[in-house]
Amino acid sequence: MEKTNLDKNIFIYPMPVTLLGTKKGETANFMTLGWLTRVNANPPLLAVGVNREHLTNELIRENKTFSINYPSANMVKKVDHCGLISGRKEDKSLSFTVEYGELETAPLIQECKLSLECELLDIYEMVTNDLFIGEIIASHADESILTHGKPDMGKLNPLLLTMPDNHYWTVGEKVGKAWNIGRELNKQD
């Protein structure tokens, strides 16, 4: 793997549409995922909401590992395709170059310039979906998306999802510095 190992305690905002990777026998499966959030600072934990009918749900339970891959906007067709068809019907891994990092059962997409490897920590069973809590154990980034060693969303150009109009977007203009611009409104400093 030619990517740079970043700190595993990595924060990635906004929360873009991602591809959740799982090992499927000798190959891999990738599912489009909108329901992803960071849920703990240290250890670095994230949660993904996956419908119980999806093959991905079965494969996370089987392998107890998974990957989160951040596609750039030019991958939009492949991203949508992975959300339209199940790995039970088609080998979706054929759309990508698959590689592995530290875990043997968390397939990564080489074309995605940022990827995380996760170990399953817990499962919260909902009505139709399960919330899988994963610990990020490694993160990998292509040099081309880094600024001062950190992921730069302007360079990654990730995909965002809006509903109910169901569209993919790219990130727009910066409008203010976070934890900073609101200080003007503080009554005291």
Ligand X SMILES: Cc1cc2nc3c(=O)[nH]c(=O)nc-3n(C[C@H](O)[C@H](O)[C@H](O)COP(=O)(O)O)c2cc1C
Cβ proximity to ligand X, 88 vs 150, nearer residue: 88
Among residues 5, 13, 74, 85, the one that binds ligand X under rule CB under 6 A: 85
CA dist 34 → 69, 71, 148 (Å)? 12, 12, 28
Cβ proximity to ligand X, 50 vs 109, nearer residue: 50
Is residue 29 near ligand X by the rule CB under 6 A?
A: yes
Binding to ligand X (CB under 6 A) within 55-74 occurs at 55-56
- Whether the CB-CB separation of 70 and 12 falls below 8 Å is answered with yes
CA dist 103 → 63, 79, 99 (Å)? 10, 23, 11
Among residues 51, 74, 97, 147, the one that binds ligand X under rule CB under 6 A: 51
Give φ, ψ of 101 to 5 degrees.
Answer: -105, -115
Is residue 98 classed as helix, strand or coil in its secondary structure?
A: strand
CA dist 171 → 31, 41, 73, 155, 157 (Å)? 22, 24, 10, 10, 7
Binding to ligand X (CB under 6 A) within 134-153 occurs at none
Is residue 87 near ligand X by the rule CB under 6 A?
A: yes
Is residue 105 near ligand X by the rule CB under 6 A?
A: no
Where on the chain is the footprint of ligand X (CB under 6 A)? 17, 29, 31-35, 49-51, 54-56, 80, 83, 85-88, 129, 161
